[in-house]
Amino acid sequence: MIKSASYISCVLSVLLMSGCEKVFDVDLSGYVSDAIVFEGTVTNERPPYFFHLTRPAAITGGDYYNYEGIDDAVIVITDITEGIRDTLQYVKPRRENFVYYDYYNYDKKRNETDYVNSVSENAADGVYVTTKLYGIEGHSYSLDIYYAGKHFESDVQKMEPALIITDLKVTKVDLGEKGETFAPCISFINPPGENYYLLSFFPWSYTRAKPFTRPGTLFGAESRWRYSVLSDEHLQENVVDFAVDDGENAFGYPNGWGYDHSSDSVYVWAQTISKSCYDVFDQMLKQFRTDGGAYTPAPSSITGNISGGVYGCFRVSAASEKGIYVGERN
């Protein structure tokens, strides 16, 4: 198992810390001067799906996510299985008290508005939305970005079927010298072949929180990485009472520090991912741990699954979850 690093579809933005009081600078000498950063995910949730395209920028304590949004690119996502080519629409931010995004929801056939309550001036730009694409299990997808006279393209991503969680319980797990703590444990059916999963847990259903594909998830950088990444290399077909990891953090806190002992319910969220996305998270973790993970991880050293010097990962994921009422526990 590899503990990892992303909130629903934000591969690079989670590398940036929020809420830091100390002013710091990051050496960006490794950046390619014309590099771009891509964020966003196609899931099996109802569309539309939002994506973010930016240029890397220096990080400062006062403005932790000051990437410059790119508003003049052409982004195309293709459902290879159905032969559907979707040219994404740029969504201009509307700045009032919050940052609003007005778009057409082609699934519900109506105009809608989403908002983000905390984002820097520059980073609010660069948001694009699908116009006809649907995320369907078993379908394969590709990404093409045309910008500044260059063509960037991803490898093909297949949406593997959603993980079937057959049981969920909260029980004490042994952390060795760190003692015992409550943790959610899941049982699930692990299909034949190579499988990779993105797991997390919260006191609520993801269907009642912000969907993985909406603008709010594109600006979700924080000091805690609530997700863990799992390879099934050493798992059986029927997995029983697998303890879900509480993820990575930027402060060097030990495994188990983030388990919530107070909530009366718990939901485990699961997303399927490809081998290439799993490898991206693996690179992020190795870099993140080099010095405690506080300030120095640089996206320039992470190779994604998009050609031509694009930082980020094009990901398609089938999402599923299981929740239970647990009551108060000591």
Compute φ and ψ for 198, nearest 5 degrees.
-115, 115
Domain span including residue 142? 2-325
Compute φ and ψ for 210, nearest 5 degrees.
-70, 130
What is the reported pLDDT for 17? 28
Does 6 map to a domain?
yes
Does 84 map to a domain?
yes
What is the reported pLDDT for 207? 79
d(CA 271, CA 163): 7
State the sign of the Cα–Cα–Cα–Cα dihedral 37, 112, 116, 271.
negative
What is the reported pLDDT for 220? 61
Q: What share of the chain is helix, strand, coil (3-state, %, to 5)?
A: 10, 40, 50
Does 149 map to a domain?
yes
Does 297 map to a domain?
yes
Number of domains in the chain: 1
132 near 104, Cβ under 8 Å?
Answer: no
Length of the chain: 330
Query: Which pLDDT tens digits describe the chain residue by residue (330 residues)?
Result: 433 333 223 333 333 322 333 333 333 444 455 778 899 999 999 999 999 999 876 555 444 456 789 999 999 999 999 999 999 999 999 988 889 999 999 999 999 999 888 777 778 899 999 999 999 999 999 999 999 999 999 999 999 999 999 999 988 877 766 677 788 899 999 998 899 999 988 888 887 766 677 787 777 655 456 778 889 988 889 999 998 886 765 555 666 666 766 678 889 999 999 999 998 887 777 666 655 444 444 444 566 899 987 888 899 999 999 999 887 655
d(CA 114, CA 216): 8
The 3-state secondary structure of 39-62 reads EEEEECCCCCCEEEEEECCCCECC
Does 146 map to a domain?
yes
Residue by residue, DSSP assigns 136-162 as -TT-EEEEEEEETTEEEEBPPEE-PPP
Does 31 map to a domain?
yes
What is the reported pLDDT for 293? 43
Please tell me whether the peptide bond between 48 and the residue prior to it is cis, using omega within 30 degrees of 0.
yes
Compute φ and ψ for 276, nearest 5 degrees.
-70, -35
What is the reported pLDDT for 84? 98
pTM for the full model? Answer: 0.81
What is the reported pLDDT for 167? 96
Tokens (6 digits) for 296:
């120095």
Does 330 map to a domain?
no
What is the reported pLDDT for 229? 87
Compute φ and ψ for 15, nearest 5 degrees.
-70, -15
